A and B are shown apart, each in its own frame.
Chain A
Amino acid sequence: METFTQITSQIIPLLVNNIDTDQIIPARYLKAIDKNSVAEGLFADWRYLPDGSPNPEFVLNNQLYTGAQILLAGNNFGSGSSREHAPWALTGCGIRCVISTGFADIFNNNALKNGLLPLTITETQFIQLLTKLQEDPFTKVTINLKDQTVLIDGEVEFSFEINAFAKKCLLSGIDQLDYILSFEEEIIQFEHQQV
Chain B
Amino acid sequence: MTLAVKAAGVHKRLGSTHALAGVSLDLGDGITGLLGPNGAGKTTLMRVLATVLAPDSGSVRLLGHDPADREARPVIRRRLGYMPQEPGFHQRFTAFEFVDYVAILKEMTARRERHDEVRRVLDLVGLGDVAQQRIKALSGGMRRRVALAQALLGDPRLVILDEPTAGLDPEQRLRFRELISRLAQDRSVLISTHQTEDVAALCHHVVVLRDGETVFAGAPRELAEVARDRVWLADERSAGAELSWLTGDGRHRHVGNAPPAHAELVEPTLEDGYLLLVGRGSLAVAA
Chains A and B come from one and the same complex: no
